[in-house]
Amino acid sequence: MKNRISIIQLLYAFSLLLSISGCGGRLAQDKRPNFLIIVTDDQRFDTMAYMPNTQRLIFDQGVTFTNGFVTTPLCCPSRASILTGMYAHNHGVLNNDEKLKYPTFIEAMHAEGYYTGLIGKYLNSWKGEARPEYDYWVSYFKGETPYYGPTLNINGEWKRYEKDEYVTYLLGDYAVDFLDEASRHKKNFILLFTPNAPHAPVTPAKEDLSLLTDLLPHRPPSFNEADITDKPIWLSVSHPLTEEEIADIDEFRRNQLLTLISLDRTIARIMTHLENNGLLDNTFIVFISDNGKFWGEHRITSKNGIYDEASRVPFAIRYPPLVPVPYTDTEHIVANIDIAPTILQLAGIQIPESMDGLSLVSLFKKGDAPWREGILLEGWPPRGTYSAIHTKRYVYAETIDDKSEFYDLQTDPYQMQNLIDDPSYQDLIEYHKELLHRMKTQKHVRLISSGP
């Protein structure tokens, strides 16, 4: 297994080097777009109402994907997939402790003359030191930082901030400084702005503590689900949530939303700076979260699972040259692995064959372009190794040595009724089972048929 991984890593590195050195068809320097990738931390797909500025300035000015997913809904694997365009079973980061050993597309961007920056979280397995492929670096130790009084690595030097200094605003300051530095260097730029909000420990900005005091409890039909006997064993043995646990969930949810409010201000500031400097319309902007978070659905309070609360994320792109008229895409299944190939294509850099993701450019130019039928979801949590295929309407999942699952999202959007043993769905189940196994063994699977 180790030899196989080594060969795969060498092939990936070789293909990326070819893309860097051979980049035939690269756009002229002054024609290439800038790039801003915003990756929030543990943000659910249904929370954008608490980020009105971001909604107005990015989502409402570009394309909003209602079927946006992360392929492994856990921080480090998901971010590694963003950086490589690969599924976790290919890049090898299966949990938050494993280091990424593959080259990232940022290395190709840096070699092609882009001014590169990362401000915020890199990977949970990284200790925070500056990396050579970034011209500008602001990060913190591994995956977490206090919201007040953080310690940040600023271009190789550690700095501890005062207890009254709020990390979201500090990261915003550095984002503005990065943009100014890129202008001074007269270079196109790519910035990964990866704030820690709304990840634990969720500490709202002091000026927001009086907000959302009348927030209604989150109680979808799947909250503290009464009957989970049809679920895999790891879940079916869970106890119902206690009143104390429910109170903790409600408090955590409110604090998460409050941290998004301060982040929304910061993103608006960055967008305003881009606009004031004439950079906004030539900057390809992506907004995505690394994964969602359960708020008591199916009795779960963590993440990393096949259900939409963990795997589905807010996902939008703003770039007027390709999306001159804003719209919402409800048809296509897109994912975090699609970001790297999309950016490489727009930058005029060859996309390595080893990337699992697909460039989204074809969807912008021709909405009915051939596309994947579903996305592979996979995870290696302590409770069980799972894989699933998520299409627009159905989810089929397998957990090793445990019960399989099948959900019809049209009739059961909260994924409460496992239909794996329902006779009327067996043909569909077999079709999705075959599709899942193909997705696990092949790259760029694009099955356009709608079912058996």
Helices 339-346 and 75-84, packing angle to 10 deg: 30
Catalytic residue selected from 37, 74, 75, 228: 75
The three-state secondary structure class of 443 is coil
Q: Which residues contact 263 (CB under 8 A, 6 or more apart)?
A: 40, 51, 168, 195, 197, 198
- CA 327 vs. chain centroid, Å, equals 21
Query: CB–CB of 372/445 below 8 Å?
Result: yes
**CA gap 46, 44 in Å, rounded:** 5
Active site residue 75: yes
Q: Which residues contact 172 (CB under 8 A, 6 or more apart)?
A: 265, 266, 267, 269, 270
Which parts of 43-87 fold into alpha helices (H)?
A: 52-57, 75-84
* Phi/psi of residue 22, nearest 5 degrees: -100, -15
Q: What is the DSSP letter of 148?
A: B
Q: What is the DSSP letter of 336?
A: G
As given in the structure block, the two tokens for residue 324 are 């001159």
CA angle centred on 286, ends 280 and 288, rounded to 5°? 145
Q: Which residues contact 307 (CB under 8 A, 6 or more apart)?
A: 294, 297, 298, 300, 415
Query: CB–CB of 117/178 below 8 Å?
Result: yes
Total residue length of the chain: 452
* Phi/psi of residue 275, nearest 5 degrees: -65, -45
Which parts of 277-338 fold into alpha helices (H)?
A: 308-311
**CA gap 37, 82 in Å, rounded:** 10
Helices 243-276 and 167-185, packing angle to 10 deg: 30
Task: Give the type of residue at 406.
Answer: F
Tell whether the torsion through CA atoms of 222, 226, 230 and 233 is positive or negative.
positive
Catalytic residues: 75
